[in-house]
Amino acid sequence: MTTTAPSSAPAPTAGPAARGVGVYKTYGSGEAEVRALDGVDVEFAPQRFTAIMGPSGSGKSTLMHCMAGLDDVTSGTIYLGDVDITGLSEKKLTMLRRDRLGFVFQAYNLVPTLNAIENITLPMALAGRDPDQEWIDQVVRTVGLDDRLTHRPSELSGGQQQRVAVARALASQPDLVFADEPTGNLDSKSGIQVLGFLRQAVDEFDQTVVMVTHDPNAAANADRVLFLEDGKIVDEMSEPTGEKVLERMKRFGD
C-alpha cells in the first residue's frame, strides 16, 4: 500500500496521475437502465489542471466519483498513479482517499462544529498524522485565511468557506485534487478567487487538479478541457478560453 507521507509532488517524468480504461457505469437494470458512463478512456496528466465539461446528465460528475473511488464502476479499470483501485476494499479505498486525494465539493465541504484550521487539518487528524506545518502555513497564506482560522464555518462567507475547502484539499499534498462544481454556489467574485487558488496550486505548488464544471469561464482556468456527452468523451480542448468553451458547449444539441 503506497500511503505516501506528504512529500514533494510526483516527478514530471511519471505517468498520468489517474487513468480510466474502458469505464462503464450503469444505474438500475432492465427497462430502467441508465448508462451514465459508456466506455470512457481517460488520463489526467500530473501537475495539470483538467476541467470536465458537459451538459446536465452527460456523466461528468459520475466520471469524477468513479475516478475518485467514491463510486464503483460497472466495468473497466481505474488507476490512481499505478494503483488499480477498482478491486480495492472499502477500507483501503478510504485510506487512499485520505492519503492521496483531495476533495472540494459544491457545498457542505466543512464539518460545522470545527473551526477553519481544524477543518483544514482534519484529513491528517483522521489519519492520526501531524500536519506539515510549513506547508499548511503556505496554503493558508495563499488562500488568504490567516485571520479567519479560528472561525466556525457558520461565521464565514460562502467564498471563505470554499477557500477553506480548497486549503483542506491541498493540506495533505495529495496526488490529485478533485473539485466538483467548486464555484457552483458562489458569486462570481468569490468564484474567480477560488479558481485562482486552484490555478495557483497547479502552477506554484505542482498539484494536479481535476474539476467538474458547467461554467465555461471556470473551465477557462484549466490547462485542458474534456467534453462529455451521453457518457462518452466527445471532445477535448487545450489552452481553453471562455469563448472557445462556450462555443463548443453550444454545439451540444439539447
Partner 1 sequence: MWKTTVHGLLAHKLRFALTALAVFLGVAFMAGTLVLTDTIGKAFDDLFASVNEGVDAVVREESPFDDDFGQAIRSPIPEQIADELTAVDGVESVEGNVFGAATVIGTPEQIAKREKEGDDALGRNRGAQSPALGFNWPVAQEVNPLRVVAGEAPAADDEIVVDKATADEEDLAVGDDVVVTTVAGTEAYELVGIVTFGTADSPGGSSVTAWETSAAQRALGFDGTYLDVRVIADDGVSQDEVVANISEAIEAGEITGTANGRDLKLEVLTGAELTDEDQNELADQLGFFNTFLLVFAGVALFVGIFIIYNTFSIIVAQRTREMALLRAIGADRRQVLMSVMLEALIVGLLASALGLGAGILLAGVLQGALEALGIDLPSTSTVIGMRTLVASMVVGTLITVVSAWMPARRAAAIPPIAALRDVSIDTSGRSGRRVAIGLAIATFGALGLFVGLFTEIGNSILIVGVGAVLVFLGVIVLGPLLALPMSRALGAPVRRFRGTAGTLAQANAMRNPKRTSATAAALIIGVGLVGFITIFASSASASIGSVIDKAFLADFTVDSGSFGLSGLPPELVDQIEELDGVEAVSPVRLGTAEIEGKGAQLSAVDPTTINQLFDVGVSEGAIEGAGPTDLFVLRDKAEEEGWTVGDTVTVNFARTGEQELAIAAIYDEPQPAGTYTITLEGFEQNFDESQQFDPQVYVRYEEGFDLDQAREELEATVFAVAPNGGGAGPAGNQGLDHHPDQPAPGCGLRPVGPGHHHRTARNRQLAGIVDLRANP
Name the site residues for partner 1 (rule: CB under 8 A). Answer: 61, 65, 70-71, 90-91, 94-95, 97-99, 103, 105-106, 108-114, 118, 122-123, 125-127, 168, 180
Q: Write down the least CB distance from residue 184 to partner 1, Å.
A: 12
Answer for the pair 19, 79: CB distance below 8 angstroms, yes or no: yes
Q: Write down the least CB distance from residue 111 to partner 1, Å.
A: 6
Comparison of 194 and 220: residue with beta carbon closer to partner 1:
194
Short-list 118, 124, 172, 127, CA closest to 150: 118
Q: Write down the least CB distance from residue 34 to partner 1, Å.
A: 15
Over its C-alpha atoms, the chain yields an Rg (Å, rounded) of 18
CA distances (Å), origin 92, targets 58, 67, 96, 102, 149: 29, 15, 6, 16, 31
Comparison of 79 and 178: residue with beta carbon closer to partner 1:
178
Distance CA(11)–CA(28), nearest Å, equals: 41
Number of C-beta neighbours around residue 220 at 10 A: 20
Give me 142's grid cell.
495563499
Distance CA(164)–CA(145), nearest Å, equals: 8
Q: Write down the least CB distance from residue 103 to partner 1, Å.
A: 6
Comparison of 108 and 251: residue with beta carbon closer to partner 1:
108
Distance CA(187)–CA(63), nearest Å, equals: 26
Residues with Cβ within 8 Å of 192's Cβ and at least 6 positions away in sequence, in order, are: none
Q: Write down the least CB distance from residue 65 to partner 1, Å.
A: 6
Comparison of 121 and 142: residue with beta carbon closer to partner 1:
121
Comparison of 114 and 246: residue with beta carbon closer to partner 1:
114
Distance CA(7)–CA(12), nearest Å, equals: 14
Comparison of 4 and 108: residue with beta carbon closer to partner 1:
108
Short-list 193, 224, 253, CA closest to 44: 224
Comparison of 99 and 215: residue with beta carbon closer to partner 1:
99
Q: Write down the least CB distance from residue 120 to partner 1, Å.
A: 11
Question: Which residue reads 468513479 in cell numbers?
Answer: 66
Q: Write down the least CB distance from residue 69 to partner 1, Å.
A: 9
Question: Which residue reads 490547462 in cell numbers?
Answer: 223
